[in-house]
Structure 1
Amino acid sequence: MHFLFPPVRRRFLTQIINTPKPKNIFHSRYSSTTTAPELEELCKVVSSSIGGLDDLESSLNRLRLSLSSLLVTEVIKHCENVAPTRRLLRFFLWSVKNFSLEDKDFNYAVRVFAAKKDHTAMEILISDLRNEGRRMESQTFSVVADMLVNLGREDEALGIFKNLEKFNCTRDSFSLTAIVNALCAKGHAKKAEGVVYHHKDKITGVEPCVYRSLLYGWSFQENVKQARRVIKEMKSAGVELDLYCYNTFLRCLCGANVKRNPSGLVPEALNVMMEMRSHRITPTSVSYNILLSSLGKTRRVKESCRILDLMKKTSCAPDWITYYLVARVLYLTGRFGKGNMIVDEMIEQGLTPDRRFYYDLIGVLCGVERVNFAVELFEKMKRSSFGGYGPVYDVLIPKLCREGNFEKGRELWDEAVASGVSISFSSDVLDPSITEVFKPTRKVEEFNLKECKVPKNSVNMKQKILKGKKGKKIVSNKKKYVSK
């Protein structure tokens, strides 16, 4: 089984379980109410950073308070983001020894450790849950399966699903959907299809959710052939295709074409959009943005501008992400004037972009050594009154100073200080004697001098060679004349 422990961990568990229980300290009956002092006192002990795990248990043994199922749950809830998971685990195991906890308490603790991605703690509690014959809730299995797949332990998640009856958990449509979703979220579509194939009787009523997960799983792998097959199966099964399904397939198709067939991006994507319209599904800006993002990755500028024009003609209003994708590819390919026009057009349309719009484009302009355009874009950002200018000052001021524009750098520094914006570097960057100004790595003057010297030397060499050849010819002619 997947939850058999190695010898070292078994010894650790034995040490925890065999710790002597305190005598005559806690009430054995369930108490439905907890007092604030008891909760505060327990939380203080559990979240303390002083001492080890054995010291924690000794401190808990010295407490005299009424322990209850509700109190244990409340302590874990209050300490899950404060105390280390090992201290939480020791507290829970200590509570199990001193009070008869319910199945719901075990399930809650398992979900907490799964959310914190502590595989060892979760494994210990699941093993105890199974050995004690407790019931695992379907919600708990869903969280556990998702956590295990995220950690790359998909086979372990499948092992729990196959043995759910040993955890007193029903293998129903909910648990089937949970394992399929978890597998497909990380691209394990083939394993997910195997689960669906062996449990066809349990997908009744959840077919749309299962098929969408499978479609996403194959799209995650950018396997266009298998994704198209899932779409055909959905049509055959009478499952209605919606915008999400087509956008998922479109993302799969574009991702595959970026790597294998960039020239087929636009025609194949437009064919999918035509198919969408035939099913009375209108492509939205999200659909076009998927295509524009892929065009930007392949630096296809003309196609990006044409898609933007096509959106306007087909009455599909571009959003700020659309303008961002087009402006970005224009800046990256050196079309700075056209990129500025796109940004101005977005502002004229009254669209309010996220701060990331300006952050990323200013970063792109600084990356391609066009700080003057980045400063102009920053001015547009300030006119929009977005706030959050600190990261922009952090990028622009050092960049301007390294290019020798200390005057503009000082101006932005004073502006930031006057506005109360915190800057992450010191004012030394404004000192020309400290900041090293960027210098071209290619020595132009010396190179030109060398270019001037080379032709002279080459001409002299050619003259010497010609003289030598003529002298040889004269000698050879004399020899011929004498021989005659």
Structure 2
Amino acid sequence: MLFFRKTPNITLKSLSYLRRRFATTLITKPFPDNPTVAYYDDLAADAFSSGDYSALRDVLNKRVQDGFKNSKHTFSFITHSNCSPSIIDKLVETVSHLNGGITRRNALDLLVTRLCKIRRTEEALRVIETLARGGVCVPAACTFYPILSFLTREKSLDHAWRVVDVMAEFGIRLDLIGYNLFLKAYCYGGEFDEAAGVLRKMEEEGIAADSRTFDALVLGACRAGKVDGAMVILRRMVDDGVYMMYSTHMYVIGALLRMKCYEDVMRYVRSFVGRDKLLDAQLLGVLASKLMNLKKVEEAMSILEEMKQRGVPMGYKLRDFYKTNAGKENGARVDAVIAEGGNGV
């Protein structure tokens, strides 16, 4: 049985080579009529573990020819390997000999992503630069995202800006996604002057803010204790019709609770409920849970009562809390009426 059964684009020489290298695999794992992405990933891992980079090249070519792009697991085999510089060089050579266009670019992007996952950003950058020479595989802005994401998360911002300089050498400008990575890192670290500088650069280049931009700004305002400033940003988002991310709400809720502004946080959440049932469940449920943890029984019960009235589902902990305290509240009301001289009717 041939290793690649429906493969008119694979040469007979290549098929013979693959068969010879994977004779044992062929007996136990014949190529299926309807292969999956995971199956191709397994074949790539088998080729790598055997040291057969020609077979790895053929697998990577064939999967795209069959309509399967590389997945985030395609190069996962290097996670558990020694991954020496010589191995990375062999992988670069393999990628350079893949079919041009989407096959080669997709493999480059996924290899860079995997190297960043194992904290090998210098090698990832070297892979990009090596393949970019002579136009073997021209990178795009998204090729650099994993590197920028890793460096900004690690607060290596000077290093990240040097990567931006490398991008510029290839004629690639930092786009909105890249700017947002820097903006969030600066806001999270409380470096607001630097964040303001990022915003100025975006404005100079005519790059409009999106949900993630505003999310970073709200984060920065909340971390600085300037909740009023965060509210101004939120008002602009609403006025401009910008989609508000779930994390944006969480920053505001967390800041108001830290300031013990319980009435304000309840008003804030209630101002957004009634438009989306999923968001209602998230906002009301999270706030009720946080109030419970803070021992704010009356406030938590107020939110849970609203969830009940709106038909918003509760988790079992919220349900138990509500059942336990609903009886207490009713008893407290009766006691109050009796104390005022009423008959409780």
TM superposition score category, shorter chain reference: 0.5 to 0.7
1:199-248 Cα distance to aligned partner (Å, 9 max, x none): 57843534433433332233323434323322321331312221212323
CA contact (8 A) 1:406 1:432 kept: no
Q: 2:140 aligns with which of 236, 242, 261?
A: 242
Q: 1:131 aligns with which of 15, 20, 27?
A: 27
User: Does residue 320 of the first structure (1) align with residue 211 of the second (2)?
Assistant: yes
Q: Which of these two proteins has the greater Rg computed from alpha carbons?
A: 1
Partners in 1 of 2:39 and 2:192 — Cα distance?
45
- For the residue of structure 2 that corresponds to 1:382, the secondary structure is coil
Deviation at 1:183, TM superposition (A): 1.9
CA contact (8 A) 1:161 1:171 kept: no
AA of the residue aligned to 1:243 = A
Report the equivalent of 2:230.
Answer: 339
- For the residue of structure 1 that corresponds to 2:271, the secondary structure is helix
AA of the residue aligned to 2:276 = F
Report the equivalent of 1:230.
Answer: 127
Show the 5 A alignment for 1:108-119: none
Report the equivalent of 1:352.
Answer: 243
Report the equivalent of 2:117.
Answer: 220
Report the equivalent of 1:8.
Answer: none
AA of the residue aligned to 1:251 = S
Partners in 2 of 1:320 and 1:340 — Cα distance?
15
Deviation at 1:342, TM superposition (A): 2.1
AA of the residue aligned to 2:123 = Q
Report the equivalent of 1:174.
Answer: 61
Q: 1:203 aligns with which of 67, 85, 98?
A: 98
CA 1:188–1:176: 2 relative to 1, 3 Å: farther
User: Does residue 143 of the first structure (1) align with residue 33 of the second (2)?
Assistant: no
Show the 5 A alignment for 1:403-482: 408-424=299-315, 425=319, 426-429=322-325
User: Does residue 193 of the first structure (1) align with residue 83 of the second (2)?
Assistant: no
CA contact (8 A) 1:173 1:202 kept: no
- For the residue of structure 1 that corresponds to 2:277, the secondary structure is coil
CA 1:333–1:370: 2 relative to 1, 3 Å: farther
Deviation above 6 Å: which 4+ runs of structure 1? 126-129, 431-434
Partners in 2 of 1:346 and 1:179 — Cα distance?
35
Report the equivalent of 1:288.
Answer: 179
Which has the higher relative contact order, 1 or 2, with Cα contacts under 8 A spaced 6 or more apart? 2
CA contact (8 A) 1:145 1:157 kept: no
Instruction: Indicate the larger mover: 293-302 or 333-342.
Output: 293-302
Partners in 2 of 1:246 and 1:391 — Cα distance?
34
- For the residue of structure 1 that corresponds to 2:151, the secondary structure is helix
CA 1:138–1:243: 2 relative to 1, 3 Å: farther
Report the equivalent of 2:75.
Answer: 183
AA of the residue aligned to 1:230 = V
User: Does residue 380 of the first structure (1) align with residue 271 of the second (2)?
Assistant: yes
1:182-212 Cα distance to aligned partner (Å, 9 max, x none): 2258757937625536757843534433433
CA 1:350–1:181: 2 relative to 1, 3 Å: same
Report % sequence identity: 14
Alignment TM-score, normalising by the size of structure 1: 0.49
Partners in 2 of 1:300 and 1:160 — Cα distance?
49
Deviation at 1:371, TM superposition (A): 3.7
Q: CA RMSD in A?
A: 4.6
Deviation at 1:320, TM superposition (A): 1.2
Deviation at 1:378, TM superposition (A): 1.0
Alignment TM-score, normalising by the size of structure 2: 0.65
Deviation at 1:291, TM superposition (A): 1.6
CA contact (8 A) 1:157 1:179 kept: no
Structure 1 unaligned runs (5+)?
1-101, 108-125, 435-484
Partners in 2 of 1:248 and 1:399 — Cα distance?
34
CA 1:217–1:355: 2 relative to 1, 3 Å: closer
AA of the residue aligned to 1:174 = N
Partners in 1 of 2:130 and 2:53 — Cα distance?
29
Partners in 1 of 2:180 and 2:77 — Cα distance?
22
- For the residue of structure 2 that corresponds to 1:237, the secondary structure is helix
Partners in 1 of 2:31 and 2:73 — Cα distance?
19
Structure 2 unaligned runs (5+)?
7-21, 65-69, 331-345
CA contact (8 A) 1:180 1:210 kept: no
Partners in 1 of 2:256 and 2:207 — Cα distance?
29
CA 1:187–1:337: 2 relative to 1, 3 Å: farther
